[in-house]
Structure 1
Amino acid sequence: MTDRIHFIGVGGSGMSAVARLTAATGVDVSGSDARESAYFLALKDAGMDVRVGHDPALVDGASAVVISTAVRETNPELARARELGIPVLHRSVALANALAGQRLIAVAGSHGKTTTSALTAHLLHACGIDASYAVGARVLGIEGAVAGGYAGTAGIGVVEADESDGSFLRYDREVAILLNIEPDHLDHHGTVEALHAAFEEFASAAELVVACLDDPVVRAMGERLSAAGHRVVTYGKSKDADVRVTKTGVLVSGVAVPMTPALPGTHQRLNAAAAWAAAVHLGADPGEAADAVGTFGGTGRRYQLRGEVDGIRVIDDYAHHPTEVAALLAGAREAGTGHLVVLFQPALFSRTQLHAGAFAEALSIGDADVVVSAVHGDREDPIPGVDSHLIVDAAAMPEGSTIALVPALEDAAQEAARLAKPGDTVLTVGSGTVTQAADWILDALRMRADD
């Protein structure tokens, strides 16, 4: 009988990529999720047996069951697997198994993992290297990709390495990219020191570390690793970086390499430098890879244009940490977006509790109307006293800008649409269900335009 591996929560961005790569190894794959998603439907279209609803019978006969950290022990399928003694694997273990034997680039950091992973895969493909990848969003522009997963033939892979639950330590990585390190996911790591130690363990196991000198924690870590004999290539705007980022490209050993990211913002230039350095190490032609930076189609939910109505553009972005939100808004300004209407949905009560003041500071921008919805708890239970009021009450909006709390997401979408005028840009921001609001806003704008 053919082995079958069952994925609980298969419609998630990360889980769907692992399911796709597992299926590519010849293993029979099944899966379930509470509801359909774009990732779920992509797997269904690819011929996989994925079903809506969690039914204990679905795990009967499976050789293994795959879960993410978000799957609770009370899930009926997981409970059934435990009862039957079926091996239960974290998705990172399943992914490591699916990519076993490949030369891996693992991308880690508090921010920018998805974009940098996708861009690295794009550069390799543009240079004729048919690399596999597992990225937490759809990678636009690579034929044959299903959601965020693609099984290539080059024996090279790119993985978005997640530090949130420590699973990034499970990959047999040849190249470790360190983008940045900030306090987050302390619900798992416990302390900042433990978080830093996990990142250092992640980097020290790689043959090559690509480290951003502009981040003080990564800089210090890179210096320690280099002193211990590890091979480290640095990048950043800093003058002492091996790959120095400029407004027009990068400088390497004094030689200018033109490079223009398709996405706006300084952080995108940094991401491009990291992706370029890693891709070149794996055999990409330096000039071709640099040219390909400008042809990157992006990923789902990373500064993704969802539509335009009556001169109002609606852009959706996954930014969910204060640094990411600040970088997103700065990049939007750099792109010349005009007046901004921002619909922000905080994600996780623990993150909101830790970073409410920083979120308020990031959102306190000029020439903008900001709407904040209720916290999307996702895998967490509510924390007493922690809600979106903490962000709104701490905001210090410049003259001419506004901020308002509208808890229900659908109501918040309607308010964002009401505030938007021709020439404005509306941003839906967050890692939760706020992505649905982009469609609601576009629908409201169309109805208004038809009146």
Structure 2
Amino acid sequence: MAPGLPTAMDRPHFIGIGGAGMSGIAKILAQRGARVAGSDAKDSATAQALRALGVTVHVGHAAAHLADDASCVVVSSAIREDNPELRRAAELDIPVVHRSDALAALMDGARPIAVAGTHGKTTTTSMLAVALTELGREPSYAIGGDLDAPGSNALHGAGEIFVAEADESDRSFHKYAPEVAIILNVELDHHANYASMEEIHESFQTFVGRIVPGGTLVISADHEGARELTRRLDGSVRTVTYGESADADVRVLSVVPQGLKSEVTVELDGAPLTFTVSVPGKHYAHNAVAALAAGVALGVPAAELAPALAAYTGVKRRLQLKGEAAGVQVIDSYAHHPTEMTADLEAMRAAAGDARILVVFQPHLFSRTRELGKEMGHALALADASLVLDIYPAREDPIPGVTSELIIEAARAAGADVTAVHDAAEVPGAVAGMAKPGDLVLTMGAGDVTDLGPRILDRLSN
């Protein structure tokens, strides 16, 4: 059975409770019987879903929102020191717990699978959660995105397996002690916290060192950053590699597109195994193979898990179809790193045939744009035309000289058709003026560009 309520977390208060990672932990604690409260900058469907579980969610941040008898205050790395609720916690001498420590406490006593990597964590975690649920394993899970409804990013299950994303961005994945760890890829990102690939590799090595004795590392055999990490390991952890490389332990023999699905054949234990992945693109197929290898490492029979993976039909913001109007499909993509952008655009190109692909791209973070803006521009050259919005700052302050123009200039130099749009309210009209029946429109980025999908559909309908 899954573990119960962690000590000292029976009355937690979450600052930023509406975030993907925070809301999942709050949900699991509420399902385990905790009296959960929190605050967020704005109301949301996620907040409403938490309220339906009995969670108190305040809109806005104020010292008065923190109850005097809160057992702890849970924060993420995005919460600043001048937050009034955090200051009030210090006055009341209430312990402050980082989100990663709270998640680690929830996984204590379970059989954790921790999914790490620069890209693909949410998809792979979701695939495992859905497939294990399909098999009646009743896993607990914490995902960085909703499966099919607000608040579906986490669940307290009765089974022994706990599947969770392991976030490298702030090194918080060093807190977990998984029985099985997945590393999908290793690239330089999160430039505010990592200055070099050397630091990235050191951080992932620390994560690998947290695997429990007798545990397993599942890692890509194709991605050069992952291969380099494997070369650096001392062999003390059982390692299972996967991919198309000839030396992969779980070798991908083929990925055959079938519209918005793929048929995948792998060689596992010397025998071929074919199954369906219900989302398009080779990178999603490889995520499914990583999920398969991890489940097998935990003792789930491959012959059962492989067909169950087809039950995964997507997660919100990961090539999610928002709707169709006037013969134009609008799809939402969370891609915000050049590798992710390229993968999603290539997947849509393979699935779309001769259809035009139009992109509405919103860069995410000034630091990422400064370091990777040129590569983002090159990725946009895979689209037929793109609108580029101003940078979504998230937790960062502006950096002088860093604007979306860095991306636009690089895209145009690569031959792309790119237009700058500084006011998001102009996007629906601009798309309606560009789109023709049969086109695909992708809203792309990790910020609030996702909100434009319904507005584009409304404009197309009219």
Which TM-score band applies after superposition, normalised by the shorter structure?
A: over 0.9
Task: For residues 288-323 of structure 1, give each alpha carbon's deviation from its aligned partner in whole angstroms, at most 9, with x where no partner exists.
Answer: 211122221211111111111121100001111000
Q: Is the 8 A contact 1:244 1:251 kept in 2?
A: yes
- After superposition, where does 1:165-314 map in structure 2 within 5 Å? 165-206=170-211, 207-225=215-233, 227-245=234-252, 246-247=254-255, 248-314=264-330
TM-aligned CA distance change 1:283 to 1:398, over 3 Å: same
| Contact 1:102–1:156 (8 Å) recurs in 2 | yes
Is the deviation greater in 402-411 or in 109-118?
Answer: 402-411
Normalising to structure 1: TM-score of the pair?
0.94
Specify the alignment match of 2:159 in structure 1: 154
Native 8 Å contact 1:21 1:95 kept in 2:
no
Q: Does 1:434 align with 2:449?
A: yes
Q: Which position in structure 1 is the counterpart of 2:44? A: 37
Q: What is the SS of the residue equivalent to 1:28? A: coil
| CA gap 1:290/1:33 in 2 versus in 1, 3 angstroms | same
1:235-265 alpha-carbon deviations (Å, 9 max, x no partner):
0011111111122321113311112211111
**Which amino acid counterpart does residue 124 of structure 1 have in structure 2?**
L
Deviates more, 1:172-181 or 1:412-421: 412-421
CA distance, structure 2, for counterparts of residue 336 and residue 124 of structure 1: 31
Q: Read off the aligned partner of 1:168 and give its amino acid letter.
A: F
Query: What residue in structure 1 maps to residue 3 of structure 2?
Result: none
Cα separation, 1, equivalents of 2:210 and 2:272: 31
Deviation string 1:190-231 (CA, Å, 9 cap, x unpaired) is 332111101011113211000101111211222333x52320
Distance in 1 between the 2:185 and 2:314 partners? 20
How far residue 99 of structure 1 moved from its aligned partner, in angstroms, is 2.1
Q: 2:422 aligns with which of 403, 407, 410?
A: 407
Partner of 2:32: 25
Residue 357, structure 1, aligned to residue 362, structure 2? no
* 1:321 alignment counterpart: 337
Matched, 1:417 2:425: no
* Separation of aligned partners in 1, 2:10 and 2:146: 27
Alignment check: 8 A CA contact 1:343 1:413 kept: no
- Aligned residue for 2:101? 93
- 3-state SS of paired residue (2:90): helix
CA RMSD of aligned residues (A): 1.7
* Match of residue 127 from structure 1: 135
Q: Which runs of 4+ in 1 moved over 6 A?
A: none
Q: Deviations over 1:78-131 (max 9, x none)?
A: 111122221111111111112211110000000000000110111211222111
**Unaligned runs of at least 5 residues, structure 1:** none
SS of residue matched to 1:442: helix
User: What TM-score do the two structures reach when normalised by structure 2?
Assistant: 0.92
Are the structure 2 counterparts of residues 3 and 124 from structure 1 closer, same or farther at C-alpha, using a change threshold of 3 Å? closer
* Secondary structure of 2:164 counterpart: strand
In structure 2, the partner of 1:105 is 113
Q: 8 Å contact 2:219–2:240 — kept in the other structure?
A: yes
Deviates more, 1:325-334 or 1:412-421: 412-421
Q: Which amino acid aligns with 1:254?
A: G
Tell me which amino acid in the other structure corresponds to 2:205: E
- Residue 155 of structure 1: how far off its partner (Å): 1.7
Q: Is the 8 A contact 2:346 2:382 kept in 1?
A: no
Question: Structure 2 vs 1, CA of residues 23 and 365 (structure 1 numbering), >3 Å: closer, same or farther?
Answer: same
In structure 1, distance between residues paired with 2:125 and 2:327: 32
Q: Distance in 1 between matches of 2:402 and 2:9?
A: 49
Residues 26-69 of structure 1 deviation map (CA, whole Å, 9 limit, x = unaligned): 22100111112222121122221112121211213211001111
Q: In 2, are the aligned partners of 1:365 and 1:398 still within 8 Å (CA)?
A: no
Assess if the C-alpha contact under 8 Å between 1:341 and 1:370 holds in 2: yes
Residue ranges of structure 2 left out of the alignment (5+ in a row): 1-7, 256-263
The answer (yes or no) to whether the contact 1:276–1:286 under 8 Å persists in 2 is yes
- Determine whether 1:82 maps to 2:96: no
Q: Which amino acid aligns with 1:164?
A: S
What SS does the corresponding residue of 2:36 show, helix, strand or coil? strand
Counterpart of 1:185, as a letter, is H
Cα deviation digits, residues 392-432 of structure 1 (max 9, x gap):
01114777x62101022222343123211110011000000
Q: Is the 8 A contact 2:24 2:142 kept in 1?
A: yes
| SS of structure 1 residue aligned to 2:386 | strand
SS of match in other structure, 1:395? helix
- Other-structure match for 1:339: 356
CA distance in structure 2 between the aligned counterparts of 1:88 and 1:339, rounded to whole angstroms: 50
- What is the rounded CA distance, in whole Å, between the counterparts of 1:197 and 1:414 in structure 2? 47
Identity of matched residues, %: 45
Instruction: Decide whether the 8 Å contact of 1:24 with 1:151 is kept in 2.
Output: yes
Shift of 1:154: 1.0
Quick one: distance in 2 between partners of 1:26 and 1:413? Answer: 44
Indicate which of 371, 382, 388 corresponds to 1:372: 388
